């Protein structure tokens, strides 16, 4: 099968976890003998480039830059300039996609996140009657629908659709959506996408990363004087590392725990990151908290083995939570907020612990529960490994994706009358 995977970002240039999952999926598909080409943006690359079936050709929309959200707060005049630039970028991205698809003639376009490049590559695929299947890992498509369809003023709505390069959002083909969690599927249904068009297929972890029971015993059978807590994620409000810091403060100040530390791995910019550092100082936690900054993904995978608990205190509904899967695969107990994609993975008290969002006291109690109950910790570790092996290996997930795509190709519906871009 010839598969064209389209995504706005692709390693080594990436921000979060979905780009890593995209690359791992592409490599697994190739390992199985499928021809896979990647179409992605020029973001952080030195201009357009093609190497190893990765085509970095798409222009990014400056209003949706993956890092610099300040673009959205520009003065209106400058914003209008970037909107005009977006129109030209959309035209370019449409032509680039059509040219590449005409060259490689894919059987299917496998669409991932398109937030920063716009949706016109999808339109180009549909104009050439190429089936499109979406791996939906966050709210980018739902946000786009809200922006283009929920504007009450007809003229503004029309202008927004034209700026997006599609003419009419309602004429796009979204019959094949694969949400990575049950909660994300529910979000899209509530946002107006038909339930019949959405299936749930999670993202997966390479089975080679799942440690064995022997490794699990060997890695955690030595008593420790210090409990090492870990947070992995962007240092931003929605990820809520501040809740982890406040929970640590309660353990130190109210329970008198001194043999405990918290490492924060992730990139943070702006006032939230600086405010978090100030919070650590104000709570007299400088000797207990370390900001390790951004680290290579492979290094993080190794570091999981050195910690006792992963804290996942996200205050927003994380669609998937790849960090949870990675930690579980490495035998690290997880405490996560009881919302979003974590609900598909964690069974509270069995393969992890769950706490309410924005509740440092509950998080502190959960940490203390693990510290005081070594039997529970070991049970959670074993159940976590079993959960990953049974349901969340990359190989199993790719099986499910291929079965779905093959079903789409076997039952091709009549071509739709799609709108034309600017």
Range from 266-270, 363-367, 412-416 carrying the lowest mean pLDDT? 412-416
Main-chain dihedrals φ then ψ at residue 193, nearest 5 degrees: -85, 135
The predicted structure's pLDDT at residue 41: 93
| Residue-range domains of the chain with CATH | 2-204+395-410 (3.40.50.2000), 207-392 (3.40.50.2000)
Question: What's the pTM value of the predicted model, to 2 decimals?
Answer: 0.87
Helix, strand, coil: what percent of the chain each, to 5?
50, 15, 35
Q: Summarize pLDDT for 150-166 with one digit per residue, the tens.
A: 777 777 767 776 666 67
**Contact call for residues 40 and 58 (beta carbons, < 8 A):** yes
Residue 192: burial class (beta carbons within 10 Å; 0-12, 13-18, 19+): exposed
Token output for 360: 């440092």
Token output for 1: 């099968």
Token output for 344: 């598909």
What's the rounded Cα separation, in Å, for the pair 309 and 371?
9
Confidence of residue 71 (pLDDT cuts 50, 70, 90): very low
β-sheet bridge partners, residue 55: 39, 50
The predicted structure's pLDDT at residue 421: 41
Mean pLDDT of 275-292: 97
The predicted structure's pLDDT at residue 156: 72
The residue among 146 and 67 whose pLDDT is bigger is 146
**Contact call for residues 97 and 175 (beta carbons, < 8 A):** no
Q: Summarize pLDDT for 100-150 with one digit per residue, the tens.
A: 999 999 999 999 999 889 889 998 998 999 999 999 999 999 988 888 887
Mean pLDDT of 5-27: 89
Token output for 340: 């979003």
The predicted structure's pLDDT at residue 81: 56
- Whether pLDDT at 237 is above 60: yes
Q: Summarize pLDDT for 317-347 with one digit per residue, the tens.
A: 999 889 999 999 999 999 999 999 999 999 9
């Amino acid at each position: 099968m010839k598969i064209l995977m389209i995504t706005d970002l692709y390693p080594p240039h990436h921000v979060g976890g979905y780009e890593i999952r995209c690359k791992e999926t592409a490599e697994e598909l190739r390992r199985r003998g499928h021809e896979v080409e990647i179409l992605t943006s020029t973001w952080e690359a030195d201009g357009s480039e093609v190497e190893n079936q990765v085509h970095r050709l798409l222009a990014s929309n400056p209003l949706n830059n993956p890092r610099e959200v300040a673009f959205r707060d520009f003065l209106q005049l400058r914003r209008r300039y970037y909107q005009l630039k977006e129109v030209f970028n959309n035209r370019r991205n449409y032509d680039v996609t059509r040219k590449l698809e005409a060259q490689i003639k894919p059987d299917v376009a496998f669409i991932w996140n398109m937030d920063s490049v716009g949706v016109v590559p999808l339109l180009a695929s549909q104009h050439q009657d190429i089936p499109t299947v979406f791996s939906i890992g966050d709210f980018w498509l739902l946000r786009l629908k809200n922006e283009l369809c929920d504007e009450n003023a007809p003229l503004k709505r029309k202008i927004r659709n034209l700026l997006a390069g599609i003419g009419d959002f309602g004429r796009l083909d979204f019959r094949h959506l694969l949400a990575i969690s049950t909660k994300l599927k529910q979000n899209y249904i509530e946002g107006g996408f038909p339930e019949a068009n959405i299936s749930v297929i999670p993202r997966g972890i390479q089975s080679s990363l799942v440690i064995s029971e022997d490794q699990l015993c060997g890695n955690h059978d030595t008593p420790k004087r210090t409990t090492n807590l870990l947070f992995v994620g962007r240092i931003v409000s929605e990820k809520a590392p501040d809740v982890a810091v406040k929970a640590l403060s309660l353990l130190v100040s109210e329970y008198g725990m001194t043999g405990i530390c918290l490492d924060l791995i992730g990139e943070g910019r702006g006032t939230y990151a600086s405010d978090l550092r100030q919070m650590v100082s104000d709570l007299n936690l400088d000797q207990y908290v370390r900001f390790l900054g951004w680290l290579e993904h492979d290094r993080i995978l190794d570091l999981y083995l050195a910690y006792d608990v992963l804290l996942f205190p996200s205050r927003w509904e994380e669609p998937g939570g790849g960090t949870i899967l990675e930690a579980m695969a490495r035998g690290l107990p997880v405490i996560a907020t009881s919302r979003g994609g974590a609900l598909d993975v964690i069974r509270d008290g069995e393969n992890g612990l769950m706490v309410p969002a924005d509740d440092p006291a509950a998080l502190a109690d959960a940490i203390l529960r693990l510290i005081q109950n070594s039997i529970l910790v070991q049970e959670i570790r074993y159940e976590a490994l079993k959960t990953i092996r049974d349901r969340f290996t990359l190989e199993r997930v790719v099986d499910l994706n291929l079965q779905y795509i093959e079903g789409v190709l076997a039952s091709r519906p009549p071509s739709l009358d799609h709108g034309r871009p600017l």
